[in-house]
Amino acid sequence: MGATFSKGEMIPTLSGETKPFNIRVEVISFSAHSDYRQSSDLITSINPPNIVLVHGEAKMMRDLKNKLMTDKQIEEHRIKTPANCESVLFQFHGHKMVKIVGKLAEQELGAGQKLQGLLVRKDFDLHLVAPDDLAAYSTMKTTKISHRQVLHYSGSFARLQMELAKAYEPTGDESALVPSQEKFAVMGQVAVSVSGEGRLSLEWESSPVCDAIVDHIVAVVANIESSPGPPPARETESEEEVEALARQVKLDLLREKFGAVELDEKTKVFTIRFDDGTTAVVNDDQESEQHGVTCDNPRNLDRLRYVLRRIENALYPMPDYFEDGDYEDSGAEEGDAEEGAAKAAAAGAQAARLTKLEAGGGGS
């Protein structure tokens, strides 16, 4: 073939078409009856990784193999002398080269740092690209799938936040639960909101992590729905009714955590009996001088205060303007002194609750 056609010349194919001859053919001519010197010189010049001696007597091929091993220092495993119809197996170790392109190529990597991306094969080239660069270096495109699921939920929104806070603790400077009036985000990825009376809406972008979080939220909602809870809040409720409803929620949560919990509605006092035989008393009357927590066991006292603090934060979320520490000026900036005073009063009430909870009597 190489002697008949030259590169660029048109040649016929089996299908009858003509195509350019684009391969390079090198012809090495040597006598079919070459002697040892000619054969050994050819092997030395080519230096192939494997040598197979065929078409000869077995003894003569073994002698030639031994001579090549002695004179040319060729390793024994590189020279094969198979018998007729004997198969010869070769192992080829191919090395692939991957080219990093796009945004990944702009990153500066330190020692031991790993680089993650998508491995794309185009023709005979391998590229490592970022998901955002997939369309630029291949015919594929990335797609985001947004989900929205609506659940029946008749429980308390504050209780749902409390239950989810048990699994998704704050990390670093960011909170796992970012609350608002009727909406919060779990891990900043799954939005939970009230979409109507008795309906809870979950929205997220499809990913293994988000799908797992949604499955857990659905299980929590189902668990709350199957357990008894306080009656639903009415639109017009007095301050006393709101406080009574909050105490009922607090009672349910304390019983779920500690078991033996009793509430005296008249004195607004919770009595908690622990497994070790100690008893704690929680005075929930905001007007009473005895408001606070008392317990003879310091360890149980710390546990109880931690749980009560979580319940208080769920029932009475800390306003953003209180966390900023500038709630008096926030109203003045908007030109509404009354709104600023209301914010200051709400923040002060929440601060008083937590302060009494921490300082409430209780000794060792």
DSSP secondary structure string for all residues of 46-107: H--S-EE--SS-HHHHHHHHHHHHHHS---GGGEE-PPTT------------EEE-GGGGGP
Q: How far apart are CA 117 and CA 161, in angstroms?
A: 36
Low-confidence ranges of the chain (pLDDT < 70): 1-8, 28-32, 169-181, 228-237, 288-290, 317-364
Q: Beta partners for 128?
A: 100, 119
Per-residue pLDDT tens digits for 13-48? 888 888 887 777 777 665 667 778 888 888 888 888
Residue closest to 157 by CA, chosen among 187, 175, 183, 196: 183
Output phi, psi for 90, to 5 deg: -115, 145
Q: What is the pLDDT of residue 170?
A: 53
Classify 225 as helix, strand or coil. Answer: helix
pTM across the whole model: 0.33
Residue with tokens 């622990």: 274
Q: Domains for the chain: give ranges and CATH numbers.
A: 10-80 (no CATH), 96-103+117-143 (no CATH), 146-226 (3.30.310), 239-359 (no CATH)
Per-residue pLDDT tens digits for 314-358? 777 655 444 444 444 444 444 455 555 555 555 555 555 555 555
Cβ 209 vs Cβ 189: under 8 Å: yes
Q: How far apart are CA 24 and CA 237, in angstroms?
A: 91
Residue 88 in tokens: 């010869």
